[in-house]
Structure 1
Amino acid sequence: MPALRFHSIAKASASAIIVTLITAGCATTHPSPPTKKNTPPQTPVAQAKPLTAKQGLHAEPIHIKPSAPKRYVVKKGDTLWAIAKRYLHSPWNWPEIWYDNPHIKNPHWIYPGDILSLYYVNGKPRVTITGGPSITGLPTVVLKPSVTYQPLPKNQHPIPIQTITPFLVYPRVVPVKMFKHAPHIVAGADSRILYQSGNQVYVRGLPANSHTAWYSVYRSKGALKDPKTGKIIGHEVAYLGNIHITHHGKISTGILKHTREEITAGDRLLPLVQKHYDYTFMPRAPQNQIHAQIISLFNSISMVGQYQVVVIDSGTKSGLQRGDVLAVDKPGRRITDHFATRKESRQVKLPNQHIGLIMVFRTFKRISYALVMSATRPIMVDDLVHNP
Structure 2
Amino acid sequence: MRLKSALIALLLGGMAFAQGGLPEPKGGVTVYVIRPGDTLWDISKKFFNNPLLWPRLWQINPFIDNPNLIYPGEVLSLKPRPPALPVVKITPQAETVSLEEVAEPPPPVFYYSRGGHEGFIAADEWEHMGTILSSEPPKILLGEGDTLYVNVGWDDGVMSGDKFTVFRTSKVVLNPLTGKRVGYKVAILGEVEIAEVLGKKMSSAKITQSYREITRGARVRPAGPVVKEVVLKKGTERLDGIIVETLNNIELSGQWDIVYIDVGEADGVVPGNTFSIYTLPRKVFDPDAGTTATIPPALKGKLVVLNVHTDTATGIILQSSRQIEKGDMVSLDL
Amino acid at match of 1:355: K
1:362 aligns with 2:289: no
Give the deviation of 1:353 after TM superposition: 2.2
Partner secondary structure for residue 317 of structure 1: helix
Decide which structure has greater helix share.
2
Rate the CA distance shift 1:191–1:231 in 2: closer, same or farther, 3 A. Answer: same
2:321 pairs with one of 365, 376, 379? 376
For the 8 Å contact 1:27–1:43, the answer to whether it is kept is no
Tell me the distance in 2 between the aligned counterparts of 1:13 and 1:105.
Answer: 36
Give the deviation of 1:14 after TM superposition: 6.2
For the 8 Å contact 1:287–1:319, the answer to whether it is kept is no
Aligned residues: 253
Rate the CA distance shift 1:242–1:305 in 2: closer, same or farther, 3 A. Answer: closer
For the 8 Å contact 1:197–1:258, the answer to whether it is kept is yes
Which contiguous aligned blocks of 4+ residues in structure 1 show a shift greater than 6 angstroms? 16-22, 26-29
What are the within-5 Å matches in structure 2 for residues 148-297 of structure 1?
A: 164-166=112-114, 168-190=115-137, 192-207=139-154, 210-214=158-162, 215-247=164-196, 248-249=198-199, 250-273=201-224, 277=228, 279=229, 281-282=231-232, 284=234, 286-297=235-246
Tell me the distance in 2 between the aligned counterparts of 1:169 and 1:361.
Answer: 10
Rate the CA distance shift 1:252–1:320 in 2: closer, same or farther, 3 A. Answer: closer
Partner residue in 2 for 1:103: 99
Give the deviation of 1:330 after TM superposition: 1.3
Rate the CA distance shift 1:235–1:44 in 2: closer, same or farther, 3 A. Answer: farther
1:325 pairs with one of 264, 274, 280? 274
Give the deviation of 1:363 after TM superposition: 2.8
Tell me the distance in 2 between the aligned counterparts of 1:181 and 1:43.
Answer: 45
How high is the sequence identity, in percent, across the aligned residues? 19
Amino acid at match of 2:330: V
Alpha-carbon displacement from aligned partner over 1:37-86 (angstroms, at most 9, x marks no partner): xxxxx3359x9xxxxxxxxxxxxxxxxxxxxxxxxxxxxxxxxxxxxxxx
Alpha-carbon displacement from aligned partner over 1:139-168 (angstroms, at most 9, x marks no partner): xxxxxxxxxxxxxxxxxxxxx95xx311x3
Tell me the distance in 2 between the aligned counterparts of 1:266 and 1:43.
Answer: 52
Amino acid at match of 1:282: L
1:43 aligns with 2:84: yes
Tell me the distance in 2 between the aligned counterparts of 1:301 and 1:386.
Answer: 22
Tell me the distance in 1 between the aligned counterparts of 2:151 and 2:187.
Answer: 20
TM-score (norm 2): 0.61
For the 8 Å contact 1:360–1:370, the answer to whether it is kept is yes
Give the deviation of 1:242 after TM superposition: 1.9
Please, which moves more after superposition, 222-231 or 296-305?
222-231
For the 8 Å contact 1:328–1:384, the answer to whether it is kept is yes
Tell me the distance in 2 between the aligned counterparts of 1:362 and 1:102.
Answer: 43
Partner secondary structure for residue 124 of structure 2: helix
TM-score (norm 1): 0.54
Decide which structure has greater strand share.
2
Give the deviation of 1:273 after TM superposition: 3.7
Rate the CA distance shift 1:274–1:360 in 2: closer, same or farther, 3 A. Answer: closer
Tell me the distance in 2 between the aligned counterparts of 1:375 and 1:267.
Answer: 35
Tell me the distance in 2 between the aligned counterparts of 1:196 and 1:381.
Answer: 35
Give the deviation of 1:349 after TM superposition: 4.7
- Give me the CA root mean square deviation: 3.9
For the 8 Å contact 2:85–2:103, the answer to whether it is kept is no
Partner residue in 2 for 1:150: none
Alpha-carbon displacement from aligned partner over 1:219-262 (angstroms, at most 9, x marks no partner): 22222233454332222223222223334234433222211111
Give the deviation of 1:274 after TM superposition: 5.3
Tell me the distance in 2 between the aligned counterparts of 1:268 and 1:14.
Answer: 43
Rate the CA distance shift 1:199–1:315 in 2: closer, same or farther, 3 A. Answer: same
